[in-house]
Chains A and B, each alone.
Chain A
Amino acid sequence: GAVVSQHPSRVICKSGTSVKIECRSLDFQATTMFWYRQFPKQSLMLMATSNEGSKATYEQGVEKDKFLINHASLTLSTLTVTSAHPEDSSFYICSAPFVTGAHETQYFGPGTRLLVL
């Protein structure tokens, strides 16, 4: 089946540094990918929609300059957390839709655990 990978799976960084998270669709192309953030014991929150070849669409309340998204190719989207702070510590998950005919299934990456010290 379709697979979405994320790298790194876990990252620890110092406050003020930037962290890049990659999301790849391994065996299918995705013109759109989604980035979510999951807080402990809470649901996923959609942060933004990554669009290949154009600007990402951000959800209300998500800082565009803080969370930079680049959809570099049909199989890769990156999320860069700039000037990270402890409150940015979270579990970040991406997903990509896999379309076969009229059916679409959303496949999720395994997630990236970010800890900002």
Chain B
Amino acid sequence: GDSVTQMEGPVTLSEEAFLTINCTYTATGYPSLFWYVQYPGEGLQLLLKATKADDKGSNKGFEATYRKETTSFHLEKGSVQVSDSAVYFCALNTGNQFYFGTGTSLTVIP
């Protein structure tokens, strides 16, 4: 069945470090792929998305490229900030149903 496998955390980085959170998926058809972020005490927010192969989603310095050949959608940021500390969820949408990864907790220390 459809599923998302996400890099386990927690991840702790120093400010300005490079971030990669791996995400791979299994799906039939052509899903849309998403990264959601959950800040402490808040609900999920859409961070970025890509709807077809080779699309790159980007927002707030974060990027992820939809790679069909490797079934991946890794999240990257060149220089993280303390305010990026949150839990990040990779997700896919096939038709009208979402599948989420388990979430990766990121802590950025000054």
Contact = CB atoms under 8 A, between A and B. Distances in A.
Interface of A: 6, 32, 34, 41-44, 46, 49, 93, 95, 97, 103, 105-111
B43 A43 contact: no
B36 A108 contact: yes
A107 B46 contact: yes
Contacts of B46: 105-108
A44 B100 contact: yes
Given A43-B89, A44-B89, A108 B45 contact: yes
B27 interface: no
Given A43-B89, A43-B101, A32 B96 contact: yes
Contacts of B70: none
A85 B44 CA distance: 25
B58 interface: no
B4 to A, nearest CB: 8
Given A32-B96, A42-B102, A46-B98, A105 B49 contact: yes
Contacts of A95: 98
Given A43-B89, A44-B89, A49-B96, A93 B43 contact: yes
25 contacts: A34-B98, A41-B103, A42-B103, A43-B89, A43-B100, A43-B101, A43-B103, A44-B44, A44-B100, A46-B97, A49-B96, A93-B43, A93-B44, A95-B98, A97-B96, A106-B46, A107-B46, A108-B36, A108-B43, A108-B44, A108-B45, A108-B46, A109-B43, A111-B43, A111-B44
